[in-house]
Amino acid sequence: MAEAVPADSRHYPEPGTRRWITLFSMSAAVMNLIDTTIANVALPHIQGSTSASREQVVWVLTSYIVASAIFTPLTGWLAERFGRKRLMLASIVGFTVTSGMCGAAANLGQLVAFRVLQGVFGSALIPMSQATLLDNYPPEEHGKAMAVFGLAAVAGPLVGPLLGGWLTQSYSWRWVFLINLPIGVVSFVGLSAVMSETRSGRSAKFDLFGFTLLALAVGAFQLMLDRGQVLDWFQSREIWIEATLAATAIYLFVVHSLTAPHPFVRLAIFRDRNFVITSVIGFFLGILIYSSMSLIPPLLE
């Protein structure tokens, strides 16, 4: 009788090493998660320090989130091209450096520009943290690993306003960004020591046209939302232009994704009913969490 072939013959790190990998991966992800809400309570202080209007200072939040949303789908291609460890470490370095640049910004324009860069580098931290955990835990422990990640994913945005309020009141609004420096250094050193490189070796093709369409659609739509109230929505020609641009770009993106041999986002994933349901739930959950985290702190201030 033939011997049974094990379902998974990969070599996984020892439990002690896995715990360190989990700790350092989660610390990197938490930096990103906290930064989605930590600046909310500091907005009035940033507004006063930079002499910005209320509409202008909101870009400190939206620039980070939009940049992160645009570049997150790029993570898979970058990981295949350069390897997961290299991408993870480069993202941590970039996020840490741009956090320091945000803390040292001399005006609102610089701060928004640095927040865009921070969102670009931080976009890979969450998916790469998940991938790192799945790579280093056997299949029977994936549920436990994702439970740990889920705990951090929920706690990060909730801790952000509390930490941001304390840092702003006790020190300065600049410390809501500078707090990332020691966390980033520890995460980088730790993962450099315990994380193994993984590389697929496949020659992935980058869909530049699809990426450009998605970036244009998200950027125009976000600009429309930010400027709508100021310009009386569709009474303004600018809002019509931005809405038309966003709708056209997203239409072309969908058509291109369905016909291109190597699309930037494979729409076939939406055939999975479970994926669609969880995505819809996550979408509305994100609206509830981030809208309340953005609106309530300034009102209480």
Gap between the Cα atoms of 269 and 183, Å rounded: 34
User: In this predicted structure, what is the pLDDT of residue 5?
Assistant: 42
Could you report how far apart the first and last alpha carbons of the chain are, in Å? 73
Phi, psi of 264 (to 5 degrees): -65, -40
Gap between the Cα atoms of 74 and 97, Å rounded: 21
Whether the pLDDT of residue 1 is over 50: the answer is no
pLDDT digits (tens, 9 = 90+) for 95-108: 999 999 999 998 99
Q: pLDDT class for 54, splitting at 50, 70, 90?
A: confident
Architecture of domain 16-201: Up-down Bundle (1.20)
Whether the pLDDT of residue 186 is over 60: the answer is yes
Gap between the Cα atoms of 247 and 240, Å rounded: 10
Q: Is the dihedral of CA 289, 294, 295, 299 positive or negative?
A: positive
pLDDT digits (tens, 9 = 90+) for 202-224: 656 888 899 999 989 988 998 89
Q: pLDDT class for 2, splitting at 50, 70, 90?
A: very low
Whether the pLDDT of residue 8 is over 60: the answer is no
Average pLDDT over residues 219-239: 86
User: In this predicted structure, what is the pLDDT of residue 231?
Assistant: 83
Q: Is the dihedral of CA 267, 272, 278, 281 positive or negative?
A: positive
> Is the pLDDT higher at 269 or at 204?
269
pLDDT digits (tens, 9 = 90+) for 56-76: 888 888 888 888 888 988 888
User: In this predicted structure, what is the pLDDT of residue 179?
Assistant: 92
User: In this predicted structure, what is the pLDDT of residue 99?
Assistant: 95
> Is the pLDDT higher at 253 or at 82?
253
Considering all CA atoms of the chain, what is the largest pairwise distance in Å, rounded to the nearest integer?
A: 79
Average pLDDT over residues 259-285: 87
> Is the pLDDT higher at 199 or at 42?
42
Amino acid, single-letter form, for residue 122: G
Q: How many CB atoms lie within 10 A of CB 23?
A: 16
Least confident of 10-19, 81-90, 161-170, 221-230: 10-19
Q: pLDDT class for 9, splitting at 50, 70, 90?
A: low
User: In this predicted structure, what is the pLDDT of residue 91?
Assistant: 94
Gap between the Cα atoms of 80 and 231, Å rounded: 44
pLDDT digits (tens, 9 = 90+) for 153-172: 777 777 888 888 888 888 88
- Residue among 87, 120, 121 nearest 191 (CA): 87
Q: How many CB atoms lie within 10 A of CB 130?
A: 17
DSSP for 121-172 reads HHTTHHHHHHHHHHHHS-GGGHHHHHHHHHHHHHHHHHHHHHHHHHHHHHT-
Percentage of the chain exceeding pLDDT 70? 91
> Is the pLDDT higher at 95 or at 196?
95
Distance of CA 145 to the CA centre of its chain: 20
Mean pLDDT of the chain: 85
